[in-house]
Amino acid sequence: MTSVNQTQPEMPVSIDTLLLIGPVFIGSIFSWCLFGISIVQLYIYHLSFPLDSYIMKGTVYIIFVLDVFQSIVVATSGWHTLCTGWGHPSVLQFPGWTFIALPCVSGIVAAWVQIFFSWRIYSLGNWHVVPVLIIILALAQCAAAWAIGIGFIALQDIALLHKANMFARTIIWLGGAALADVIIALSMLYLLYSAKRNITIKQTERMLTHLIHLTVETGAVTATSAILELILFQTFQSNNLHFTIALMLCKIYSNALMASLNSRPGSRIVLQKTNEHIHSLNLQSLQIQNSDISSSNQAASTTVIQLQRSIEVMKDTPKAMILN
């Protein structure tokens, strides 16, 4: 009697399972790619703008520290879901503390960036209503993000996030963030266009055109990301597709801030710590003296030229910083 070893073919991973773990993998990869961009942006800022105020530098470095913490959260979430928790359905139901921290840190970074831009709008246009509205929306979306994270401690089930009370918090978080981003983009667009109409210098006009394009692009990216995250969360309630955006939402806001700061016309040369521009070159006096130098009676003239220059060192002030 011969024994025949029959091996059963391995079953492929189901689509439902892939839609639960795949977004965590993809979102983690993109999040860390954006973190690499953040490091480069910080390096450029550190070398290019040494004269920034302490408030500006504090904002940049605090955002970067939060970015580092969020990267740790993302890495831990990916490791817990794809490695140590592989084959355990309970891990997909409750990812652990990382899911609690994720909306909290994203809400803080988004609110910080939005409040920063509201201050710039106030500095540029001396507006009051629009900056206050942006601050209210920023604080509201940050509070809603924290309410989601804290509320998940008791739920411990991703499926329960679609309950009415939790979904309302998600609407306030992502919808409020998107609305604030749109208001910021439109306000900056209006102010920059208004400034461009009064400019006759070509170089300054090109700079404003670049800032207008950058404002539209960064505002569109942040607002679109928040809206897309909200749509995926509401439409695909049985999977984790929204994780793809949620895991890198913090990085999108931090990179938008750094791109705006590094686009300024201040100390733009990385290899120089200061940026000096010759503001004026004035001829003060001209003296010509004739004397006999040789026996051939050749006339020699001595020209004495005195040059005066004034050095303009670009340093951010509340009025200068708003041209981003």
Which domain CATH number covers 126? 1.20.1070
Check whether residue 148 and residue 287 sit in a common domain: no
> Cβ(81)–Cβ(95) under 8 Å?
yes
245-275: b (≥16 Cβ within 10 Å) or e: bbbbbbbbbbbbbbbbbbbbbbbeeeeeeeb
- Using an 8 Å Cβ cutoff, are 67 and 284 in contact? no
Would you list the DSSP string of 121-156? HHHHH--SHHHHHHHHHHHHHHHHHHHHHHHHHHH-
Q: Contact, 177 vs 226, CB < 8 A?
A: yes
- Total domains in the fold of the chain: 2
| Average pLDDT over every residue of 171-179 | 92
In a domain, 9, yes or no: no
Check residue 273 and give its pLDDT: 39
Burial of 303 (0-12, 13-18, 19+ CB in 10 A): exposed
Residues 258 and 160 in one domain: yes
Is 295 found in the same domain as 214?
no
Q: What is the mean pLDDT of residues 305-322?
A: 42
- Tell me which amino acid residue 139 is: L
* Residues 112 and 244 both lie in one domain: yes
158 shares its domain with 301: no
Under 8 Å CB-to-CB from 13, ≥6 apart: which residues? none
Q: In terms of domains, do 296 and 203 share one?
A: no
Output the pLDDT for position 265: 66
255 with 290, same domain: the answer is no
Which tokens go with 322? 């708003």
243 and 291 housed in the same domain: no
**Domain encompassing residue 31:** 15-262
Q: Is residue 35 part of a domain?
A: yes
pLDDT confidence band for 131 (50 / 70 / 90): very high
Average pLDDT, the chain: 76
| Structural domain contains residue 269 | no
Interval 224-250 mean pLDDT: 87
7 part of a folded domain = no
- DSSP string covering 243-294: HHHHTTHHHHHHHHHHHHHHTSSSS--TT-SS-EEEEEEEEEEEEEEEEE-S
Judge if 225 and 198 occupy the same domain. Answer: yes
Please give the pLDDT value at position 77.
Answer: 84
In a domain, 246, yes or no: yes
pLDDT at 86 over 70: yes
| pLDDT reading at 108 higher than 80 | yes
Least confidently predicted of 28-32, 68-72, 107-111, 233-237? 233-237
**Does pLDDT of 87 surpass 50?**
yes
Q: With bands split at pLDDT 50, 70 and 90, how would you rate the model's confidence at 233?
A: confident
Query: Are 139 and 164 in the same domain?
Result: yes
Model confidence, pTM: 0.75
Distance separating alpha carbons of residues 42 and 60, to the nearest angstrom: 8
- 207 plus 289 within the same structural domain: no
